[in-house]
Structure 1
Amino acid sequence: MAVDEHYNEHGGFPKFETAKVEPEYGELIEALRRVQDLAVSVDMPADALKAALAQTQQLVATMEPHVVPERKTPAGRVPRLPGRGSLLMLPWTVEKFDADGVRSRGVFRRFHLGGNGAAHGGTLPLLFDDLFGLTQHAYGRPISRTAYLHVNYRKITPLNQPLVVEGHVDKVEGRKTFISATLKNEDGELIADSDALMVQLLPGQQ
């Protein structure tokens, strides 16, 4: 496995360090995810809509004074939380993280609905891309960017059903890391599979 002597020079990428957060942080992220689920699920009358708007504006006012630069926010830096505490990432939990591969488990929620009870097709590349980043990191590869990502949709991706995504490094060629992954249900049925090329950044590249 490679050791990147220029880790801190690649496009300003900070070295990953686990963030220390209060217990309420995880509860806040989960509550915000529930708000996301509800926001795409409800049809409120005017009075309820106005009340929800006022409460949301109050929440914004409470949080806004505490905005910090990217390197200081705990979002995405709390491995024990689903989605590592990031609202952008799917709320999945990493079960395995080592040089042999990365495995994560979770569900697609109502917020991820594409239509007719299925997850939006665009959420799968997000799931796979995040997994590939974790996979190349677990393998010991240097900071890299996704050069391409291909997804094969084998079955409809259901909402609110436990699924497992697992990826591993297939081969390394210089700055290139080739990775593949599968998404399956708990019965082992293949939902989708993906392969990607991650390319190591040169010093100063973003």
Structure 2
Amino acid sequence: MTDPHLEDPEYDRHGGFPNFQPATPGPGFGRFLSAMRRAQDLAVSADPDSETWDRAADLVEELVGLLGPTEAAEGVGPANRVPSLPGAGSLLMPPYHVTKFDSDGVELTVQFSRYHVGGNYAVHGGVLPLMFDSTFGMVIHATGRPISRTGFLHVDYRKITPIDVPLTVRGWVREAEGRKAFVNAELRDADENLLAEANGLMIRLLPGQP
């Protein structure tokens, strides 16, 4: 990864983005994420009796009461700042791990679960643009381009995306032109079958742009 300041001396003034640094919240945060991911799966698949739902609601409300007073600003809490954890510690993202991160692009492994199902045990079509958009951001960072936002994102669905199996996401800059970076990404299974592919435009922010 090259230093984006070399291309854009105004890099730090763009958009007011927090200067994200890796977080070390301790092992309890990893345990919390694992339990929450399982809770998400169960929230869309469990079918207990009314008494159990009431008890579950009590426990969740207790958790909200425990964590509520500690709510922090963006870039302060550990979510999305722990690279060693699935999804970098963000419950918003499917649990991915980065396996390649350099000027040629990025590669991730990801495994979707019951929480991501849209129907018939296939990953919801709306989840894949989220994964691709995040991949585009990683590509911009890995290739040393300045802070950018998505101009457009187009997804083609080639095959059903399954849950509970490891998949691979790859992303790279296809072409760069001034403030514009045209980015491609693809999702493949273990047999290299193309499940979905995306192309998009990432536009470098001007000073002060949010």
Are 2:20 and 2:75, in contact at CA under 8 Å, matched by a contact in 1?
no
What are the Cα deviations for residues 130-184 of structure 1, in whole angstroms up to 9, with x where unaligned? Answer: 0000011000000000000111100011111111000111111000011101100
> Could you tell me which residue of structure 2 aligns to residue 144 of structure 1?
148
TM-score (norm 2): 0.95
**Structure 1 residue 8 displacement after superposition:** 2.4
Tell me which moved more, 20-29 or 193-202: 20-29
> Could you tell me which residue of structure 2 aligns to residue 97 of structure 1?
101
| Counterpart AA for 1:145 | R
**Structure 1 residue 6 displacement after superposition:** 2.0
What are the Cα deviations for residues 67-115 of structure 1, in whole angstroms up to 9, with x where unaligned? Answer: 1111211111111111110110111111111111100002111000000
Matched, 1:68 2:105: no
Q: CA RMSD in A?
A: 1.0
Matched, 1:167 2:171: yes
> Could you tell me which residue of structure 2 aligns to residue 183 of structure 1?
187
- Quick one: distance in 2 between partners of 1:6 and 1:39? 45
- Quick one: distance in 2 between partners of 1:182 and 1:157? 12
Are 1:17 and 1:77, in contact at CA under 8 Å, matched by a contact in 2?
yes
Ranges in structure 2 where 5+ consecutive residues have no aligned partner: none
| Counterpart AA for 1:66 | T
| Counterpart AA for 2:10 | H
Task: Show the 5 A alignment for 1:44-59.
Answer: 44-59=48-63
Partner secondary structure for residue 57 of structure 2: helix
| Counterpart AA for 2:81 | R
Partner secondary structure for residue 83 of structure 2: coil
Matched, 1:201 2:185: no
Are 1:164 and 1:184, in contact at CA under 8 Å, matched by a contact in 2?
yes
Task: Show the 5 A alignment for 1:74-85.
Answer: 74-85=78-89
- Quick one: distance in 1 between partners of 2:43 and 2:9? 45
- Quick one: distance in 1 between partners of 2:85 and 2:146? 24
- Quick one: distance in 2 between partners of 1:68 and 1:14? 13
1:115 to 104, 119, 124: 119
Matched, 1:35 2:39: yes
Paired-residue identity, %: 50
Are 1:7 and 1:15, in contact at CA under 8 Å, matched by a contact in 2?
no
- Quick one: distance in 1 between partners of 2:94 and 2:9? 31
TM-score (norm 1): 0.97
